Amino acid sequence: MINQPETQDLLTEARQVLLDSVAPELSGERKYQALMVANAMGMAIRELEQREHGQPEQTDRTVRAFLVERSLEATTGDAEEGLARAIREHHLDGADPALRSVLRTLTEARLQINNPRYLKRES
């Protein structure tokens, strides 16, 4: 089905109108609301982008591969759920650098959508 322009394009344009023309005219609570809407739209745009690049699947594969390497169940169900369960049930060593790296991959993938600027924050 052809449906042009793309949703991502529509959202990007709509967000720009909101930020450039609508929000500057507003103040107080209304302005805050407009900025929240722009923020939510920004997340939607970035999520579409990430999906296009197959990023969620790649993150999922990373988690799955880690679980398989540790001989933990990863074939059924959600990989992130499997990882959470394995940690909760103390099947993994919290100090394991590979575990920490997987946790970081997951967190960074979510921040890439929710707040990419936060990734630049000095630690």
Partner 1 sequence: MSALADTFSAFIARQTGARSARVIDFDKLSGGAIQDNFGLTLDLEGGSRPDRQAFVVRQDAPSGVAESLSRSEEFRVLQAAFKAGVTAPEPLWLCEDPEVSGRVFYVMTRAAGSASPRKLVKADFTEEQRRNIVRRLGAELARLHKVRPPQESLKFLALPDPDNAALSRVALYRRYLKEIGEPHPVLEWALNWLEDHAPEPGPTVLCHCDFRTGNYMMNGDELTAVLDWEFAAWSDPGEDLGWLCCRSWRFGADDREVGGIGDKQDLLDGYREASGIDLDPAAVSYWEVMGLVRWAMIALQQARRHMSGEQRSLELALTGRMVAQMEFDLLNQIQELEDGQ
Residues that bind partner 1 (CB under 8 A): 33, 36-37, 39-40, 43, 78, 80-81, 83-85, 87-88, 90, 94, 99-100, 102-104, 106-108, 110-111, 114-115, 118-119, 121-123
> Among residues 11 and 106, whose Cβ is nearest to partner 1?
106
> Among residues 17 and 43, whose Cβ is nearest to partner 1?
43
What b/e string do you get for 5-22 counting C-beta neighbours within 10 Å, with b at 16 or more? eeebeeebeebeebbeee
**What's the closest the beta carbon of residue 73 comes to partner 1, in angstroms?**
14
**What's the closest the beta carbon of residue 54 comes to partner 1, in angstroms?**
20
**What are the CA-CA distances from residue 99 to residues 56, 81, 94, 117 (Å)?**
18, 14, 7, 24
Closest CA to 63 of 50, 75, 49: 75
> Among residues 6 and 32, whose Cβ is nearest to partner 1?
32
**What's the closest the beta carbon of residue 92 comes to partner 1, in angstroms?**
8
> Among residues 12 and 106, whose Cβ is nearest to partner 1?
106
Nearest-angstrom CA–CA distance, 29 and 109: 31
DSSP class of residue 93 equals -
